[in-house]
Amino acid sequence: MTTYMNFIHNEWVAAHDGRTLEVLDPSTGEVFAQIARSGAAEVGQAVQAARQAFEGEWGRMAPAERSRLMLRMAQSLLDNVDELALLEQRDTGKPSRQARADALAVARYFEFYGGAVDKLHGQTIPYPQDFTVLTLREPHGVTGHIVPWNYPLQIFGRSVAAALATGNACVVKPAEDACLSLLRVAAILAEAGLPAGALNIVTGLGAEAGAALAAHPGINHVSFTGSPQTGLQVQQAAAANFVPVTLELGGKSPQIVFSDADIEAALPVLLNAIIQNAGQTCSAGSRVLIQRAIYSDVVARLAELFKATRTGAAGDDPDCGPLINARQLSRVQALLREADAGGISVAARGQLDANAPKGGFYQVPMLLSDVPPEHPLAQEEIFGPVLCAIPFDTEEEAVRIANGTSYGLVAGVWTQDGGRQFRMARKLRAGQVFINNYGAAGGVELPFGGSGQSGYGREKGFEALYGFTHLKTVAVKHG
């Protein structure tokens, strides 16, 4: 069985005490590899390597040269896309099509930020004649990146590519449930020429390696993606060092369907927004708000789509793969039992493949109807393929229900009325609003982030480059 080690200063490094953690295949429940169970010692080593890189060759690299290197790394990632997709599929249980899309996305982030590196500049500021005032965009220094298990490649890509592009040196703590693709990415980037120490990966438990990274005084910025509970702990740890944090947390995102919508176009999108990655997507469209005049019809048609979904092993490329682990599966099942006890009706459930391995963590997609908006199922993130249908009467009521959770990440609106499209876009509490679509195919160009318990700060798009730099004002008095 392969044991994967930490990647520090472009070398494989075991945990100092040799401890390891098991890696499970969610499709079978079987252990197939081990990773290093690291802690404060390895995090310290990684931060030191990153600091050296930042103060050395990497930190001195000219933007045009960094741009060329980013593009070279993007090409190397593309050259290895099949291998990365297979690792991601095995490690996370993602259907093969999704794993491939994620592997392509990480390359695309390096490409996008590679092209942007030498276009990021400060400004000159009008001031009295005897002054020249300008602003400089500078890297933070050593950035910490704490990554969850649901989209390791994508989330690594969006934060690490932007951080490297702006000249930071990075220390990454992947989720203990899904590290393998990122360790391979680190090796690919080193082979493509990334100087030692510019990117370091330390694996281990959140409470050990993750907590050590968030609290390390040598870290100058923390990018965290994960649950609100952990996000709070990470902020508190970083606050002790007065360090800025970007938080990408959960969501309970609404998809709102008005009676004038193109239902034919909406239906497959409504389904996909909740079954993609088995609902383990922070921006999953987990509530569907349907105007009453079309409510029964849309629920009935959605139910047919749910019943036709196939859940099974990742390698069989099903509509819905397994959940990440047994803990996540029992959490989702407990919430579904609550729904049952609360008398919430199940409008439809998907089918489990007859040949889905017995030990896998499978939850078939579920459509729940007439869920009261204030019910915990319509308020809490389920992080499974469970869609709550909620009727509404007026535009105002739709906005009230949509905005009536502690989250504010993403929203989708289906209507043909142009005025309503813009009104809704303005009124919805969300970092991204999609009109007559959901997710816009996830483009790396589109700034992403939330408010409330969904977090703060923006990643993706050009906007992320501002987050991974700080602004320095220089005022020269020259008489």
Residues of the shown chain interacting with ligand NAD in the complex, contacts defined by CB under 6 A:
146-150, 155, 173, 175-176, 206-207, 210-211, 214, 225-227, 230, 233-234, 248-250, 282, 381, 383
- In the complex, the smallest distance separating the C-beta of residue 453 from ligand NAD, rounded to whole angstroms, is 9
Q: End-to-end alpha-carbon separation of the chain, Å?
A: 71
Q: Output 148 or 439, the one with its CB closest to ligand NAD.
A: 148
User: Which residue is catalytic, options 208, 248, 381, 459?
Assistant: 248
Q: How far is the CB of 230 from ligand NAD (least distance, A)?
A: 3
Lookup result for tokens 């490094």: 13
Shortest spacing between CB 218 and ligand NAD, in angstroms: 16
Select 234 or 271, whichever has its Cβ closest to ligand NAD. Answer: 234
- Active site residue: 42, 88, 208, 282, which one? 282
Q: Which residue, 360 or 449, is less far from ligand NAD as judged by CB?
A: 449
| 50 versus 175: smaller Cβ distance to ligand NAD | 175
Catalytic (active site) residue 445:
no
Question: Which position has the token pair 């318990």?
Answer: 453
282 has catalytic annotation = yes
Phi, psi (rounded to 5 degrees) for 126: -60, 130
Closest CA to 212 of 40, 465, 405, 7: 40
Which CB atom, from 315 or from 452, has the smaller least distance to ligand NAD? 452
Q: How far is the CB of 55 from ligand NAD (least distance, A)?
A: 26
Contact in structure between 364 and 323 (CB atoms under 8 Å): no
The residues, ordered by sequence, that sit 6+ positions from 477 with a Cβ below 8 Å of its Cβ are 130, 131
Q: State the residue number with the nearest CB to ligand NAD.
A: 206
Would you please indicate which residues are annotated as catalytic (active-site) residues? 248, 282
